[in-house]
Amino acid sequence: MERPRTLGELKKANYRSVSVKDEMRSNLIRMVSSGENIFPGIIGFEDSVIPQISNAILSRHHFILLGLRGQAKSRILRSLVSLLDEVIPFVAGCEINDDPLRPICRHCHELIQKCGDATPIDYLGRESRFVEKLATPDVTIADIIGDLDPIKAARGGHALSSELTIHYGLLPRANRGIFAINELPDLAGKIQVGLFNIMQEGDVQIKGYPVRLPLDVELVFTANPEDYTARGKIITPLKDRIGSEVRTHYPATLEHAMAITAQEAWTGRDGSGNLIIPAFVREVIESIAFEARQEKKVDKRSGVSQRVPITCLENVVSNAERRALKNREQKIVPRPSDIYSALPSLTGKFELEYEGEMRGAENVARDIIRQASARTFKKYFDNVPLHPIVQWFELGGALKYPADASTEHLYAQFKKIQGLLEKTQSLGMKAKDEPALLVSGAEFILEGLYALKKISRNEELGFHAEHAKAARSESTTEEPTPLGPRRRPLN
């Protein structure tokens, strides 16, 4: 069906003007009633954040999302576009998308008065009705509201005090849509004053000239609690005019967190299907964020972003990919040791307390990886006897191998340790599985025993007994037997 192209055709089509808040409310009611997913891709907020946002929209409130970094605040705001109609009509050529039946700008009033029902109509898609601005200290009132344009005045022969000389800012251009401001506390106080004035009274002064702009707009904001003292604050009159404050949070469960990381991390690579990421590797990586949020050396006020496990997983896969290329192996299977190779993706994302700064970001990250490994290891091996493996090391065994060791080399080395490869069955593996997968599982067992301090590890000896002495390094050159290395005869 062809859409109306003039004001007269629009009236004959019985078009009714609806405010953007009523439009969003109506579409939300329809989506909730039909069981549609309101925020696709948002995981873990189903019983907390999403109901509160829904309540704010149903109440026709402006609202703010308050939470630490990496809690999907910006993504939620961008998802609000789905609550808008597919297209809406506006007066063709209008800078602020004026409603043909309820124009607010001087230009559209004069155009309709001149052309009447022949006034041309155009259409605006939902994506074009979302305007987003990152608040920075250098943002001006002209950027947000607008400014006088002397060139417009000269070309049109208008007085500078005329509304026709205004160059509209971002907020008026978001008329009949959603205007989102990220990191609201960074916005200068005088800009915040301009915001609440136009929110409540619908007017603003530009260069001393009062301009009446009863905008139809849904205002949404994000803020980080850390910013209130670190960089700025939200002025009280503006907070008073924001209808709802919704607090976001990090994933409450490991399952939710893993689902988010799997969704966001770039692991597809060449799409050949040669990449196999063991579940325990994913769990260790995800547990790093959980452990870091509880670590005393990490600043809890700053938070630990969900980007930590996302970038870590990408780095882990890349390290495994590089190793497979170097050894000319078809299958790419990350190992627990690859997580330590991903330290560059972790250290820059932790804000450390004084004690953490003294220890160093890399050492703190290593400690957290070890804690995450222990946490995951207990899940799989809490009631599994591993004494034969520990005994092999206590009898003098030691295992050292390069980080880029091939699957074939490690498989042969792990096979010498009694019971090690067999214990991978607790990880759901079978003897006929891909050798690279078995090697990753065996390394996870050794990493778990090290994390629980059942065995030790250092650069000189690799994995060895917890109570090994420095002299033990001599025995590592001898070929170990199934029960441990050969002992030298007593003199």
Q: What is the DSSP letter of 127?
A: G
Q: Is residue 363 a part of any domain in this protein?
A: yes
Q: Do residue 62 and residue 167 come from a single domain?
A: yes
Q: Any bridge partners for residue 166, and if so which?
A: 148
Domain holding 307, by residue range, is: 250-382
Q: Is residue 2 a part of any domain in this protein?
A: no
Query: 396 and 485 in contact (C-beta within 8 Å)?
Result: yes
Of 186, 215, 247, the residue that ends a domain is 247
Q: Do residue 255 and residue 178 come from a single domain?
A: no
What share of the chain has pLDDT > 70, as a percent?
Answer: 89
Query: 363 and 452 in contact (C-beta within 8 Å)?
Result: no
Q: Which helix (H) or strand (E) holds 195?
A: helix 189-200
Q: Do residue 176 and residue 40 come from a single domain?
A: yes
* 152 vs 241, residue with greater confidence: 241
Query: Is a pLDDT exceeding 60 seen at residue 421?
Result: yes
Predicted pLDDT of residue 280: 97
Q: Is 275 helix (H, G, I), strand (E, B) or coil?
A: strand
Q: Do residue 365 and residue 392 come from a single domain?
A: no
What integer is the mean pLDDT of 166-191?
A: 89
Q: Quick one: pLDDT band at residue 429, thresholds 50, 70, 90? A: very high
Q: Do residue 315 and residue 428 come from a single domain?
A: no
How far apart CA 384 and CA 378 sit, in angstroms, is 9
Q: Is residue 241 a part of any domain in this protein?
A: yes
Of 382, 403, 421, the residue that ends a domain is 382
Q: Which two tokens stand for residue 378?
A: 């207990």
Q: Do residue 227 and residue 159 come from a single domain?
A: yes
Predicted pLDDT of residue 468: 56
The CATH number that applies at residue 258 is 1.10.8
Q: Do residue 214 and residue 281 come from a single domain?
A: no
Q: Which helix (H) or strand (E) holds 91?
A: strand 87-91
Q: What is the pTM of this model?
A: 0.86
Phi-psi sector, 130: left (phi>0), alpha (psi -120 to 50), beta: beta
Query: 20 and 83 in contact (C-beta within 8 Å)?
Result: no
Least confident piece of the model among 150-154, 314-318, 358-362, 374-378: 150-154
Counting the structural domains of the chain, the total is 3
The CATH number that applies at residue 190 is 3.40.50.300
Sequential DSSP letters for 378-404: HHHHTT---HHHHHHHHTT--B---TT
Q: Do residue 358 and residue 314 come from a single domain?
A: yes
Query: Is a pLDDT exceeding 50 seen at residue 304?
Result: yes
Give Cα 29 distance to the centre of its chain: 28
What share of the chain has pLDDT > 90, as a percent?
Answer: 69
Q: Do residue 86 and residue 14 come from a single domain?
A: yes
Predicted pLDDT of residue 253: 95
Q: Is residue 1 a part of any domain in this protein?
A: no
Cβ atoms < 10 Å from Cβ of 323: 24
- Tens of pLDDT, residues 223-251: 988 755 455 788 888 888 899 999 999 99
Q: Apex CA 227: angle with CA 222 and CA 230, to 5°?
A: 165
What integer is the mean pLDDT of 110-133?
A: 94
Q: Is residue 474 a part of any domain in this protein?
A: yes
Average pLDDT in the chain? 88
Of 358, 382, 406, the residue that ends a domain is 382
Q: Is residue 261 a part of any domain in this protein?
A: yes
Query: Is a pLDDT exceeding 90 seen at residue 182?
Result: yes
Q: Is residue 185 a part of any domain in this protein?
A: yes
Residues 6+ apart with CB under 8 A from 23: 83, 84, 85
- Tens of pLDDT, residues 469-479: 444 444 444 44
Q: Do residue 351 and residue 214 come from a single domain?
A: no
How far apart CA 437 and CA 357 sit, in angstroms, is 37
Phi-psi sector, 296: left (phi>0), alpha (psi -120 to 50), beta: alpha
Q: Do residue 67 and residue 171 come from a single domain?
A: yes
Q: Do residue 286 and residue 331 come from a single domain?
A: yes
Query: 239 and 199 in contact (C-beta within 8 Å)?
Result: no
- Name the nearest CA neighbour of 110 among 121, 99, 123, 119: 119
Q: Which two tokens stand for residue 218?
A: 């849904």
For residue 89, the one-letter residue type is: P
Q: Which two tokens stand for residue 120?
A: 């041309």
